[in-house]
Amino acid sequence: MANTIDIRLPDIGDFKDVEVIEVLVSAGDRIAVDDSLITLESDKASMEIPSPAAGVVKEVKVRVGDTINQGDLLVVMEEDSVAEETAPVAQPKPLETHPTPPPPAPGEKKAKPLPIAPTRADMPNRKAHASPAVRRFARELGVDLARLSGSGPKGRITRDDVQSYIKETLSGGVAPVPGDAPAMPAVDFSKFGETEEVELNRIKKISGAHLYRSWTTVPHVTQFDEADITELEAFRKAQKDEAMKKDVRLTFMPFLMKACEAALREFPNVNASLSADGGKLVLKKYIHIGVAVDTPNGLVVPVIRNVDQKGVYDLARELMEISARAREGKLAPGDMQGGCFTISSLGGIGGTQFTPIVNAPEVAILGVSRAAMKPVWNGEKFTPRLVMPFSLSYDHRVIDGAEGVRFTTLLGALLSDIRRLVL
């Protein structure tokens, strides 16, 4: 007799508001005891949650991106102990049919089978069987585990499988899935001189995969402009002593964020995102701005929330605090989620212009370069003015050229006359 049971998140230790990064079952799936249901990830670790019972999944109550805690409902399952004893064990459908190789000769080492790259038709309902550590390793390298067949027990994908897949892809041994860009050929640089290999750190591996996806999936356009920030910079410097009395380091960034906030309210499409199917525009009623921070381990983008509800001093304090945590490597995953628009400032380093990559699923990013004194004609004579170059890269599916230049024109005007922010 079937019995419906609720499977809830068990005690997983000192973790709260843990994010669901993978849902490994769906309604109708038959699962056995200890089969993985979901994968969770905190800022400290990732873990799979196993099923305490066997049966058929009736409903899945969580989605990717949810944050859950002990006792939250994960799955409603129809438990059937008889079915486990009598029903034949379902065998996974093979992705491709290959001739059976002859058995190895006595003493000959059996060759390890290479991972197979399935076709798109094979992939939709295929769930990868791998440990949290292997899933994290695959994500860092940008490998879709659904394309691999595992060589471990019960078809479990191992770290060696991921590495073999990468090697075979680079050497042309695995056919690319339609729509994927061909891999660059491997080059032995040591033929040309002395070399040294240095492992990329985790942040650069993760951000590299994200930037590649953004660059290849978003049709970029970049609009360049300049802003006369002479008066704004004079005002900022005049307020520095007052800010120091309140333990605030008053940089240019809070003023820039307030100008961006005003421009985003005027142009809501720049504060939006495309739906997953690309057919709808999600207009956000909040303004969260990500600020790129240079750290010893690479670039990270913490998000300052509700910029429209905070003053310049409030933003300055929050920037000081979150930038310090970023450089110490103490940001939580939630600190880098939910952004509507990103600012990448290289003004403190140098350069004149650059083309930042849109931080998808956002649709625009602002790049700021170093300001410099320039002679500007005022109608009668040339006068020295502090001019800041900036650039806006945007998703051309959402923002057309006319809207892009109107946004940068307004932003330049706001920065040139900060009094406009109070209107």
Question: Tens of pLDDT along the chain (423 residues)?
Answer: 568 899 998 887 767 888 888 788 888 888 888 888 888 876 556 678 888 988 899 999 999 888 898 899 999 999 865 444 444 444 433 333 334 444 544 544 444 444 444 443 344 444 567 766 677 677 767 777 877 878 877 677 888 888 787 767 655 544 444 445 566 788 889 999 999 988 888 778 778 888 888 888 899 999 999 999 999 999 999 999 999 999 999 999 999 999 999 999 999 999 999 988 888 999 999 999 999 998 888 888 999 999 999 999 999 999 999 999 988 888 887 888 899 999 999 988 888 899 999 999 999 999 999 999 999 999 999 999 999 999 999 999 999 999 999 999 999 999 999 888 877
Residues paired with residue 222 on neighbouring β-strands, in sequence order: 393
- DSSP at 67: E
- DSSP at 349: T
In angstroms, rounded to a whole number, what is the distance separating the alpha carbons of residues 226 and 406? 13
Q: What is the pLDDT of residue 44?
A: 53
Rg, the chain, Cα only: 27
Residues paired with residue 228 on neighbouring β-strands, in sequence order: 387
Report the 10 Å Cβ neighbour count for 195. Answer: 9
CA-CA-CA-CA torsion for 112, 117, 123, 127, nearest 10 degrees? Answer: 30
Q: What is the pLDDT of residue 11?
A: 83
CATH 3.30.559.10 residue ranges for the chain: 220-422
Residue 303 to residues 336, 356, 400, Cα–Cα distance (Å): 5, 17, 26
Q: What is the pLDDT of residue 289?
A: 97
For residue 361, whether the previous peptide bond is cis, meaning omega lies within 30 degrees of 0, is yes
The catalytically annotated residue of 98, 210, 288, 396 is 396
CATH 2.40.50.100 residue ranges for the chain: 3-86
Q: State the DSSP H helix or E strand holding residue 392, giving kind and residue range, or none if neither.
A: strand 382-395
Per DSSP (E only), the strands in 71-174 are 73-79
Is domain 3-86 classified as CATH 3.90.1580.10?
no
Q: What is the pLDDT of residue 128?
A: 67
Q: What is the pLDDT of residue 181?
A: 57
Q: What is the pLDDT of residue 89?
A: 41
Pick from 125, 135, 7: nearest CA to 60:
7
pTM of the model: 0.59
In angstroms, rounded to a whole number, what is the distance separating the alpha carbons of residues 260 and 342? 10
**Pairing status of strand 341-345 against strand 289-291:** parallel
Q: State the DSSP H helix or E strand holding residue 372, giving kind and residue range, or none if neither.
A: strand 372-377
Q: What's domain 220-422's superfamily in CATH?
A: Chloramphenicol acetyltransferase-like domain (3.30.559.10)
Residues 366 and 342 sit within 8 Å (Cβ to Cβ):
yes
129 is catalytic: no
Residue 60 to residues 42, 126, 130, Cα–Cα distance (Å): 21, 17, 20
Q: State the DSSP H helix or E strand holding residue 160, giving kind and residue range, or none if neither.
A: helix 159-170
CATH 4.10.320.10 residue ranges for the chain: 120-183
CATH code of 120-183, in short, is 4.10.320.10
Q: What is the pLDDT of residue 100?
A: 42
Give the list of residues 6+ apart from residue 358 with CB closer than 8 angstroms, or none.
214, 218, 220, 364, 365, 393, 394, 395
